[in-house]
Chain A
Amino acid sequence: MAPKIGVYICHCGSNIAGIVDCSKVSDFARALPNVAVARDYKYMCSDPGQNLIKDDIKKLGLNRVVVASCSPRMHEPTFRRACQDAGLNQYLFEMANIREQCSWVHTDKEMATEKAKALVAAAVKRVALHEPLETKEVSMNANTLVIGGGVAGIQAALEIADSGHKVYLLEKDASIGGHMAMFDKTFPTLDCAACILTPKMTTVGQHRNIELLANSEITELSGYVGNFKAKIKKKARYIDMVKCTGCGRCSELCPTSIPNEFDCGLGKRKAIYIPSPYAVPNKAIIDAKNCRHLKGKAEGKADVCRLCQKGIPNRNQPGCEAEAIDFNQQDEIVEIEIGNIIVATGFQQFDPTKIYQLGYGRLNNVFTGLEFERLTNASGPTNGKVLLKDGSEPKAVAILHCIGSRDTNYHKYCSRVCCMYSLKFAHLLREKLPDTAVYQLYIDMRCAGSGYEEFYERLQEEGVNFIRGKAGEVTDLTETPEEKGKLVVMVEDTLVRRKRRLPVDMVILSCALEPRPDTEQLARILTLSRKADGFLLEKHPKLDPVATTTDGIYIVGACQSPKDIPDTVAQASAAAARVLALISKGKVEIEAAIAYIDEDKCAGCKICIDMCPYKAISFDEVKKVCRVNEALCKGCGTCVAACPAGAIKGRHFTTEEIMAEIEGVMA
């Protein structure tokens, strides 16, 4: 059937028409071979715009369509659907990108118009060669993997599990809870973090639809939306999870005491320990790096310590009575099959030792935000008392904003939550130590959220000293008697234009939220992309902020960008809804633009087999030819380029189609 092509040039208001002369382009298109009709219109993606296409298909009997407008990443699905509605196979459509890659990036109208013409010519040449393709449907595995057990992962897991579907919740640490579990209060409502989070954590631990894989990490992923296979490494815990009752006797016996990560190193824990009072799972774990027995074993020493297991019999102190301790446990790899994945791996706090002049790690009583959270937490190392390293109470505290954020030397972005948690800290200080002076050193107060500005005003009323200026330096080199023994914060009060030296006892650094160091590795395993700032990249920042470019994988919470708990939870619920929608549909469409091997041309050289990243090509020993597994092929085309016999066809990206496009842009 001879191609009969309709070409539609979009003005996109003035977005395109402001630079590209759209009527000239449509005149040009009209004269191209095989073009039956060419029109330009204000908004092609609008209903009237789409109707233009549908009507022409029906009335003029078009069998190919080209739209020149925005990026295909934006509206290809829209126009494909319009074609389909009018009875045309959706693959008989092609888009020319004359906005993102033309009108928005050029200033010379004439050259931009010429370029737009070339792009349209290319699309017209290409579309003439398009073939109708049928998308296939495969069934959908209803299980979901959630990676990361912070508030984001917990929320998503619960919503999916509650609707009756199985969830694997993967957490690399010994307990779920993430950062929120470390807080005492949360802004702006000052809810007790434990009161709102621990019930959810417990529910996760007991939910019959949730399989909690704590102390575990993902190592490999294969498959595609609806049918993923993941390899999970369950790291040895040295505890039998079934037998352990979480009684804590073992910890009491253990002689090895080390800084507790959960308390940011401000408190101590044992080598065998239960991560926190509300840990889920509430079971012991042995820290192999510090356990005397396991260290000894690694060095070939036969039997060191084991007090936790054996107890101290002569003092009538029995060891673990449940016989739950198992020093022979090994790391274990399990494989699970799932249909969807939600990534909720969160953030890490910026390490302020990098900013030498702030004295963190060098001067006593300079704390990070998370450390201060632990100091105010009733179950923290000081039982919630705000104390200096020497055990006394501070008389003056300075809270320093934007540490590692909004700073080209570290992170350019604003971390979005630190203004608010700094206010929270100020409030907790006013409440716990009413006579202590509190200074907030800020550049801008960023309090955009429901009830946030009101919280700021409340803190002003509570008598906190707000100084507009970023601290330049924290020093213990004092100059006057009243500074003696204190930390001096140097700052310009930019509202009065005076350099000030603030003598205080405690400095809190409101540190940036940054991507976790293993984000790159995780992105590689899951084939996700990252943004310039290192956080995971969403599919579209406005219109699809929870999906990724890989179908079936969603990102939620602080692994996408710094965000607070309300935003995190909203996003987690959104992703859960997306997953549930797919599960309820039960089927997924698989890509039709994939590779196909012409058995007559295939020489059986097997070069393609090694080329395929998805092991989609197998060799037929009988016919001595290769074959593509349609469910596994993702259509990258690497094999097509590599086949010496030219036997592989990359559907929708055939050599002829691409060549035609190249000829077209050069026309």
Chain B
Amino acid sequence: SSGDDKTADPGSTSSEGSSGGDAISVGFSQVGAESGWRAANTKSIQDTLTKDAGFDLKFSDAQQKQENQIQAIRSYIAQGVQYIAFSPVVETGWDAVLQEAKAANIPVILTDRAVDTADTSLYVTFIGSDFVEEGKRVGQWVSDNLGTEPINVVELQGTTGSAPAIDRKQGFEDATKDNANIKIIASQTGDFTRDGGKKVMEGFLQANPDIDVVYAHNDDMGLGAIEAIEAAGKKPGVDIKIVTIDGVKDGMTALADGKINYIVECNPLLGPDLAKIIKTLHDGGTVEPRIVTQDGAFDQEQAKAALPDRQY
């Protein structure tokens, strides 16, 4: 609805001036740096879209604020970059600013998180994981491997109201709802942090004497839970099983050490894929509208095998 076509020009005119040479100028707006996963994601992008690889990357960190992100995208449009990529803080509310990008003829690529819009022409493609699917895969594994007898599950949720927290909860519930053996007895938010995970787990341990499984929405909370379980004199991974999502290095190490039982990977290394997509677009090619990354899943044995080559 915004469609101010008269200002559509700066995109093409000034890009020459600002980017210099043949480098492709890309504006990337990151959510923030709230977790180890995010740091790895940022690093991957910054390390791939380098000058040497023929890119002129403009990076900005929105510090978890949608307004900063919108502001950054608008500023990229004003600066006249050739491509915009971003990981949206929220799924909703991007129509207006994406319209502006479209009006300025700047292709937009979404990474990691999707946006909720009726008009799919606003972005070229989405590349990232499917949070619901991740939750489902964890749920499935728990159901298949542990749910053979009655078990009590406690859930460490991510930040209240955030998309990954909602979807991972949803996915897990979907996958386990048919298994009568699985009972989720408590669920509380640990804010995706180790400290939060540990605090909440301490509370769970006080209130419930018979916890069998901990489902943490990310590795960090799982690692926090390990600390709490150990402090309570129990053995994580044995007395209480732990399943998590992400697969960051510390998580994988704990998995290999037998303190975590299963991790569904959520690959942060989106840089190479992003670079490939932009190159393809730049050469006039087309890409799929939705590219879901190939995420692995590891149990303890697989972790031991994979650990030496992990980059993050």
Answer whether A and B are interacting partners: no
CB within 8 Å of B: which residues of A? none
